[in-house]
Amino acid sequence: MQRFYFNVYDHVECIDEEGQLAADLSAARDLALESVRALACEQICSGYLHLDDYLVVTDADGLELLTVSFGEGLEIRGGPAGKPR
């Protein structure tokens, strides 16, 4: 298990000081996707969604390993409001 850090860049910069353990980078990406989905839900509950906000996964040395945007964590379906399906 390796420790990965998940730094969030939305309306504020939130640096992860503790990190989370994951088996590998693929597992860390899965955790990052879960995190951006939860953060997107918080935004939606506040009445907005910024798809270009993002999360950066780093290693213990601060090396950036991958970036996941809020938009990557979501699949947008449907058309404009008021249009019947």
Q: What predicted TM-score, i.e. pTM, was given to this entire model?
A: 0.86
Residues sharing a CB contact under 8 Å with residue 20, sequence separation 6 or more, in sequence order = 3, 4, 6, 28, 31
Rounded distance between C-alpha atoms, residue 72 and residue 85, angstroms: 25
pLDDT in tens, 37-85: 999 999 999 999 999 999 999 999 999 999 999 999 998 888 776 666 5
- Domain boundary assignment for the chain: 2-73
Residue of higher predicted confidence among 79 and 23: 23
Closest Cα to residue 10, out of 47, 45, 58, 42?
42
- What the block records as the tokens of 79 is 């058309």
Greatest CA separation for the chain: 51
Q: Which pLDDT value is given to residue 82?
A: 63
Neighbours of 77 (CB within 10 A): 5
Q: Which pLDDT value is given to residue 21?
A: 98
Mean pLDDT value of segment 12-33: 97
